[in-house]
Amino acid sequence: MIASVAGKVAAIAPDGAVIEVGGVGVLTHCTPGTLATLRIGEEARLATSLVVREESLTLYGFAGDDERAVFELLQTASGVGPKLALAMLAVHTPNALRVAVASADLKALTQVPGIGQKGAQRIVLELKDRLGTPEEVVNAALNGERRMAAWREQVHSGLVGLGYSGKDADEAVAAVAPAADADLAAGRAPQIASLLKAALRALSTR
């Protein structure tokens, strides 16, 4: 498999570009977004995927490895060949496709020429657990973890600063955790001052 090509851009067409590699002009079919990053006469590197057919060898080029990986995964769905996979990436970014498939957004998928309602349903069914987790979901989880860690650290530090031992502070943080978790679940930032007062009350009633 040809995993990438690198060299000077010799030509750009509406559906692809020619990259000079070791004196050979290599035609790579690309999305409009990838073509927009290329300039004739300048050096470029494209992640590539070679599609082998009995009558042809066709090279597809991408701005990055993630786009290529999604291109190849899309073709594992029934009825999706390289041309349709490339069309999907011309309309949607890799992450937008992940979001559309994960949320069964058939309207977004049918925006791609060549994909009808039934085709969109089939793509969702076959690829829902294979394209990966959308960045929005990952970022939301990371932000939630950061907010959780932040309130714990602030309440714990506040208690230690007031003279309580680390063990006492741990127990008090555990006592007020349900209230903080409820705030996070509702999309609210935990109020540190309120949590600290509740933690102090928990310590005073031991």
Chain mean position to CA 102: 11
Domain boundary among 18, 45, 63: 63
Q: Higher model confidence: residue 46 or residue 140? A: 46
Looking at 75, 97, 132, the residue that finishes a domain is 132
113 and 161 housed in the same domain:
no
Q: How far apart are CA 129 and CA 143, in angstroms?
A: 23
The total number of structural domains in the chain stands at: 3
CATH, residue 78? 1.10.150.20
Identify the domain containing residue 87 by its residue range.
65-132
Query: What pLDDT score was predicted for residue 201?
Result: 85
| Residue 115 and residue 166 share a domain | no
Who contacts 89 (Cβ-Cβ below 8 Å, separation ≥6)? 31, 33, 62, 67, 70, 71, 74, 97
Label residue 147 exposed, middle or buried (CB < 10 Å: 0-12, 13-18, 19+): middle
Of 48, 63, 78, the residue at which a domain comes to its end is 63
| Cα angle value 186/187/190 (rounded, 5°) | 90
CA pair distance 170, 164, nearest whole angstrom: 10
How far, rounded to the nearest angstrom, does the alpha carbon of residue 27 sit from its chain's CA centroid? 29
Digit-coded pLDDT (tens) for 12-53: 998 899 999 988 999 999 998 899 899 999 999 999 999 998
Residues 40 and 4 in one domain: yes
Which one has a higher pLDDT value, 195 or 137?
A: 195
The reported pLDDT for the residue numbered 141 is: 44
